[in-house]
């Protein structure tokens, strides 16, 4: 079985990504660690439990992580995901926060990695604050991971939060930098531009959401706000133009779940700009090897979209 830790800021696409993981065969989710990001940490915790409830998997341990970035000012993506992070369609019967584990996210990550050294894959679809704190506390943490899959960063300096910065990296640039500098395990990055270019057709989405299941009804409800935005003329002007639905976080998750998903990639050393007038939080790719860094990450360039679609379909069954 593939063992996973999932670090989230649940968010609509985090919800999709968690549901894809829950539906995958031969996967054991050892813990879901929550971080500030798309919405407040408290909302992230509530949203994560809501997703697990719909999937009947409240047995999976959920941990409370960092409520704010290391140094940066707090950001959220409420304009896109909804103020509550999940489309502003509250569930009156949502599970209570008493279901959370007592142990904190960072301690849980370290413990799980220690007990499953070499076997656990970490999928990070939030600002990287929890991971950065974890490696500061235990520098051997990355070595215990089988792999790290990140949704974040940009490759063509086309940002979604600043002109050249992607949300998860801009929301905590210092954390992103620490993670890219210190995590020497095999690391795979689904960047913002990549995810835009691999967007799925809206015709697929319409069919995907039309299924008569509780999970499909839930997904339709929580994604209505963000999908209306994503389909708007204003949004279509970006590089997503006309291409369709971008399930960002799902790309990182799907790659972690299926080793054959990535069909094209680059291996390159990366870091993050921490200063700069416009470029703070921007991922820097050292194709010319000018930084003389030995560790390279895998930058995803293409995936098997049919496999990805099938995973999304399975998630709502």
User: Which CB, 38 or 107, lies closer to ligand BDR?
Assistant: 38
Tokens linked to 174 = 């210092």
Provide the minimum distance between the beta carbon of 167 and ligand BDR in the complex, in angstroms, as a whole number.
3
User: What is the contact surface with ligand BDR in residues (CB under 6 A)?
Assistant: 11, 13-14, 38, 77, 125, 151, 160, 166-168, 192, 248-249
Strands 283-286 and 2-8: what pairing? Answer: unpaired
Cα-flanking dihedrals φ and ψ of residue 82, to 5°?
A: 100, 155
User: Which CB, 11 or 244, lies closer to ligand BDR?
Assistant: 11
Cβ contact 129:174 at 8 Å = no
Provide the minimum distance between the beta carbon of 5 and ligand BDR in the complex, in angstroms, as a whole number.
16
Nearest to 227 by CA among 254, 259, 200: 200
User: Which CB, 107 or 168, lies closer to ligand BDR?
Assistant: 168
Cβ contact 241:158 at 8 Å = no
Q: In the annotation, is 9 catalytic?
A: yes
Q: 3-class SS at 192?
A: helix
Provide the minimum distance between the beta carbon of 288 and ligand BDR in the complex, in angstroms, as a whole number.
26
User: Which CB, 211 or 284, lies closer to ligand BDR?
Assistant: 284
Tokens linked to 92 = 């009156």
Q: Is the dihedral angle over the CA atoms 232, 236, 238, 240 positive or is it negative? A: positive
C-alpha 168/C-alpha 170 separation (Å) is: 6
Provide the minimum distance between the beta carbon of 239 and ligand BDR in the complex, in angstroms, as a whole number.
13
Catalytic entry in 7, 9, 14, 84: 9
Give catalytic residues, as residue numbers. Answer: 9
């Amino acid at each position: 079985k593939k063992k996973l830790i999932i670090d989230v800021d649940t968010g609509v696409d985090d919800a999709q990504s968690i549901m894809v993981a829950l539906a995958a065969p031969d996967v054991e989710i050892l813990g879901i660690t929550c971080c500030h990001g798309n919405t407040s940490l408290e909302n992230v915790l509530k949203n994560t439990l809501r997703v697990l409830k719909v999937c009947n998997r409240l047995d999976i341990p959920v941990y409370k992580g960092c409520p704010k970035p290391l140094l940066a000012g707090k950001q959220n993506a409420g304009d896109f995901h909804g103020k509550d992070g999940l489309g502003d369609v509250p569930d009156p019967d949502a599970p209570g926060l008493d279901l959370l584990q007592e142990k904190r996210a960072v301690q849980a990550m370290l413990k799980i990695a220690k007990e499953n050294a070499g076997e656990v894959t970490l999928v990070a679809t939030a600002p990287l604050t929890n991971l950065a704190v974890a490696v500061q506390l235990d520098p051997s943490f990355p070595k215990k991971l089988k792999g790290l899959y990140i949704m974040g960063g940009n490759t063509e300096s086309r940002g979604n939060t600043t002109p050249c910065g992607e949300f998860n990296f801009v929301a905590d640039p210092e954390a992103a930098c620490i993670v890219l500098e210190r995590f020497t395990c095999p690391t795979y990055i689904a960047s913002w531009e990549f995810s835009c270019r691999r967007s799925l057709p809206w015709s697929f989405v319409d069919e995907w959401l039309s299924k008569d299941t509780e999970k499909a009804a839930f997904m339709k409800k929580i994604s209505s706000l963000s999908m209306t935005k994503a389909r708007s003329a204003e949004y279509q002007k970006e590089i997503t133009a006309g291409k369709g639905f971008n399930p960002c976080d799902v790309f990182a998750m799907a790659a972690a779940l299926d080793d054959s998903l990535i069909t094209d990639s680059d291996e390159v050393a990366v870091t993050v700009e921490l200063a700069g007038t416009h470029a703070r939080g921007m991922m820097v790719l050292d194709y010319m090897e000018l930084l003389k860094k030995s560790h390279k990450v895998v930058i995803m360039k293409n995936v098997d979209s049919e496999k990805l679609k099938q995973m999304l379909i399975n998630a709502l069954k």
